[in-house]
């Protein structure tokens, strides 16, 4: 007998909707609704609207009684990939009613139109590469991770004079110059060979993907102002260094993913050549430049579109055929070339500012070069229904993005650990799980820190008033001992959640070593080799080991169990007969809870829990503690 929901319709119940969540195009989606008999319903209708089109009505048949409820059903077969919306109407003696989307996927009966339910439809023939989501990722900010030599002022075409730090532990330059600009042209000299020398370190963390922030020649230390897409920044090394790194990493089962900054170039670049450092004829120098049509000038040469109005980041017209050929269509295009040289995929910077056809074309080119190439997008919100520049995006229909950066997970983790409820965290994740195709949900880049965010340890330790400190104060700020201990406990909880969600847990370099820092550039300080927080690092190593060795955490189903206690986050990962229950207690008081098992083993500490009677195991979760319980057997 199927389990009937307690409301008229629940979008996450298989009794109401099959399949769960996103649906493949061309396959029937079945809907069932269960109004109470005393409502006296005479007719029910399912309404389906393809995004931006006219809604269509699907009369629902009465299928009989279901306890104290009637059962009505209808089906809809989405003809093609895209975003669809649905809702229900029914007639009563008191007039028509609307069944709209309420909290948690539950139906809300209203007198007028309310929020609609979302149905994401994808192309079933398109399968994102699974290797990414199944492994652990390490995010490297190239200039600040590791150097194999003292930095030397590079020379050559396009190279601007650079400020070189001899001391690896210096603060990055953060004050404006005499013209009021922060140039970001101070370098610490991290190199590709430095990364190569740390492959043993990555192996100790069971890393399977090395994701690099930009590595191409650029004026700035962050290198998001690309100067030459086809040249490794000489301070980092050269093309041979890159090939060697990819080759040696592959021998250890690791892949390399590059950052593709294709929405804008650098002002100081081969293409725009605003400072005339390149031998090429740039768009800023002549309207006859082959690169001039790439840019949009309102008044040549000094008035042009730029990313967020930053003059050093002139925007390109991604629909320009020549630009597309250069980036991904030509045999020696940027995307294809670096894949051939050893990369396994691309992360697209500001993906919501790249047109859908540009992303789709890039994806095709990448897959032609390497069938299992990965294309990840930087999207900060729910990417399934994202609207950018008044246009609905088609990221997950098939053939665009294989994954996105999971900022909603980061936000939900930090909100929960800073006093939010377990229910709110679960709702955030369940919304994504319902809206994303399963292959995408299990392929997400799960982050708690990036080069664009303050360090996780800092966010979890500072007081609200600390964010109001002056820039000089924030530059030198270190958490006091009591706050540091609190932050470390919370960081462990954050990492447990991150590593037990479907998708690739992604470590931002130095987070695992206890690095602190507010906003850019304080979140981009060098990796503290030899001065790591050994306690945090040991915890990460153990957590990485658990995640790498567990097929259940890699591929298992996810089910939340909330409502018992706002401070206790509880969920299960299951695969076949294997069952792992995750218990996270963010409060400063212990929490007691029951576990339906005869025996349980905490995978983090190897602590054992036995059933004292047939009712299961009673577990006390200490304050600010997480258990990762491998469970065996079931209580009566």
DSSP code of residue 268: S
Query: pTM value?
Result: 0.97
For residues 153 and 114, membership in a common domain is answered with: no
pLDDT-based confidence at residue 54 (cuts at 50, 70, 90): very high
How confident is the model over 72-123, as pLDDT tens digits? 999 999 999 999 999 999 998 788 899 999 999 999 999 899 999 999 999 9
The string of pLDDT tens digits covering residues 244-282 is: 999 999 999 999 999 999 999 999 999 999 999 999 999
Assess whether 281 and 244 both reside in one domain: no
Query: Which residue, of 383, 404, 425, is where some domain finishes?
Result: 404
User: Helix-strand-coil percent breakdown of the chain, rounded to 5?
Assistant: 25, 30, 45
The token pair that represents 420 in the structure block = 């939010």
d(CA 620, CA 394): 46
Is 170 annotated in the active site? Answer: no
- 324 and 223 in a common domain: yes
Among candidate residues 378, 400, 434, 511, the one labeled active-site is: 378
Which pLDDT score, from 0 to 100, does residue 67 have? Answer: 86
Tell me: do 252 and 270 sit in the same domain. no
Residue 525 confidence (pLDDT): 98
What does the pLDDT average to over 49-67?
94
What is the per-residue pLDDT for 318? Answer: 98
CATH number of the domain to which 376 belongs:
3.20.20.80
The reported pLDDT for the residue numbered 15 is 95
The single residue listed with the structure tokens 């979302």 is: 118
Asked whether the predicted pLDDT for residue 338 surpasses 70, the reply is: yes
Domain end (from 345, 380, 404): 404
Mean pLDDT across 505-523: 98
Dump the DSSP string for 113-159: --PPEEEEEE-TT----SHHHHSEEEEE-HHHH--SS------STTP
Whether 602 is a known active-site residue: answer no
CA quadruple 612, 613, 616, 621: dihedral positive or negative?
negative
In a domain, 41, yes or no: yes
Give the integer Cα–Cα distance in Å for 546 and 97: 51
Q: Supply 395's token pair.
A: 């990221």
What is the model's pLDDT at position 2? 65
Give the model's confidence band at 615: pLDDT under 50 very low, under 70 low, under 90 confident, else very high.
Answer: confident
| pLDDT digits 0-9 by tens, 15-30 | 999 999 999 999 999 9
Q: How far apart are CA 478 and CA 516, in angstroms?
A: 7
pLDDT of residue 613: 78
Same domain, 313 and 395: no
Is residue 249 in some structural domain?
Answer: yes
**Does residue 154 sit within a domain?**
yes
Distances (CA, A) of 410 to 450, 454, 512: 10, 12, 16
Q: Per the residue annotation, which of 233, 241, 259, 349 is the catalytic one? A: 349
pLDDT in tens, 300-324: 999 999 999 999 999 999 999 999 9
Its domain, for residue 597, covers 557-632
Q: What is the distance between the alpha carbons of residues 72 and 398, in angstroms, rounded to a whole number?
A: 32
Q: Where are the alpha helices (DSSP H) in 406-519?
A: 407-417, 422-435, 438-441, 456-459, 471-475, 481-500
Instruction: Specify whether 357 is located in the same domain as 229.
Output: yes
Q: Are 583 and 606 within one domain?
A: yes
| Total of domains in the chain | 4
Distance in Å from the first CA to the final CA of the chain: 21
Domain membership flag for residue 199: no
Same domain membership, residue 382 and residue 268: no
Q: Please state, in angstroms and rounded to a whole number, the distance separating the CA atoms of residues 451 and 559.
A: 31
* pLDDT above 90: residue 297: yes
Place of tokens 């190439």: 373
- Tens-place pLDDT, residues 178-209: 999 999 999 999 999 999 999 999 999 999 99
User: Is the pLDDT reported for residue 1 higher than 60?
Assistant: no
Residue 618 is assigned to a structural domain of this protein = yes
Q: How far apart are CA 591 and CA 454, in angstroms?
A: 30
Q: Are residues 141 and 225 in the same domain?
A: yes
């Amino acid at each position: 007998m199927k389990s009937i929901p307690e409301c008229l319709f629940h979008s996450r119940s298989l009794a109401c909707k099959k399949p769960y969540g996103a649906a493949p195009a061309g396959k029937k989606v079945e809907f069932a609704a269960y109004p109470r008999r005393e409502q006296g319903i005479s007719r029910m209708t399912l309404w389906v609207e393809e995004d931006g089109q006219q809604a269509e009505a699907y009369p629902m048949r009465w299928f009989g009684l279901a306890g104290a409820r009637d059962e009505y059903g209808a089906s809809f077969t989405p003809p093609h990939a895209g975003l669809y919306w649905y809702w229900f109407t029914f007639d009563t003696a008191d007039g028509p009613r609307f069944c709209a989307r309420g909290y948690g996927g539950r139906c809300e009966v209203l007198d007028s139109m309310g929020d609609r339910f979302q149905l994401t439809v994808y192309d079933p023939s398109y399968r994102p590469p699974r290797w990414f989501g199944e492994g652990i990722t390490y995010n490297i900010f190239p200039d600040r991770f590791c150097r194999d030599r003292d930095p030397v002022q590079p020379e050559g075409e396009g190279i601007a004079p650079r400020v070189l730090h001899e001391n690896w532990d210096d603060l990055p330059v953060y004050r404006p110059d005499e013209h009021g600009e922060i140039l970001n042209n101070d370098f610490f000299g991290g190199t590709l060979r430095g990364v190569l020398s740390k492959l043993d370190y990555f192996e100790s963390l069971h890393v399977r993907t090395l994701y690099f922030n930009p590595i191409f020649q650029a004026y700035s230390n962050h290198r998001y102002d690309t100067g030459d897409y086809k040249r490794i920044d000489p301070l980092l090394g050269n093309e041979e260094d890159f090939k060697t790194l990819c080759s040696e990493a592959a021998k250890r089962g690791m892949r390399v993913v590059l950052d593709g900054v294709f929405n804008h170039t650098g002002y100081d670049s081969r293409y725009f050549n605003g400072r005339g450092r390149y031998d090429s004829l740039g768009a800023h120098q002549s309207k006859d430049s082959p690169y001039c049509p790439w840019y949009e000038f309102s008044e040549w040469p000094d008035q042009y579109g730029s990313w967020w109005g930053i003059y050093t980041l002139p925007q390109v017209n991604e629909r320009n055929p020549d630009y597309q050929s250069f980036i991904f269509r030509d045999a020696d295009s940027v995307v294809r070339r670096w894949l051939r040289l050893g990369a396994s995929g691309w992360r697209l910077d500001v993906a919501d500012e790249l047109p859908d056809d540009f992303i789709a074309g890039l994806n095709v080119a990448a897959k032609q070069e390497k069938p299992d190439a990965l294309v990840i997008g930087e999207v900060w919100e729910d990417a399934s229904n994202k609207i950018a520049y008044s246009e609905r995006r088609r990221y997950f229909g098939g053939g665009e993005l294989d994954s996105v950066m999971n900022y909603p997970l980061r936000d939900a983790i930090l909100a929960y650990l800073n006093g939010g409820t377990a229910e709110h965290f679960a709702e955030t994740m369940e919304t994504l799980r319902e809206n994303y195709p399963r292959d995408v949900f299990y392929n997400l880049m799960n982050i708690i820190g990036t080069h664009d965010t303050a360090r996780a340890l800092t966010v979890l330790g500072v007081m609200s008033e600390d964010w109001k400190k002056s820039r000089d104060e924030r530059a030198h700020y270190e958490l006091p001992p009591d706050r540091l201990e609190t932050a470390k406990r919370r960081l462990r909880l954050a990492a447990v959640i991150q590593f037990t969600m479907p998708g690739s847990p992604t470590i931002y370099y130095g987070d695992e070593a206890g690095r602190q820092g507010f906003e850019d550039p304080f979140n981009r300080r060098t990796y503290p080799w030899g001065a790591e927080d050994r306690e945090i690092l040991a915890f990460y190593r153990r957590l990485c080991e658990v995640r790498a060795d567990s097929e259940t955490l890699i591929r298992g189903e996810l089910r939340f169990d909330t409502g018992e206690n706002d401070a206790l986050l509880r969920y299960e990962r299951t695969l076949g007969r294997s069952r792992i229950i995750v218990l996270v207690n963010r409060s400063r008081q212990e929490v007691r809870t029951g576990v339906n098992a005869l025996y349980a083993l905490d995978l983090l500490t190897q602590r054992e829990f036995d059933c004292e009677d047939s009712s299961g195991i009673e577990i006390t979760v200490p304050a600010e503690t997480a258990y990762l319980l491998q469970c065996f057997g079931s209580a009566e």
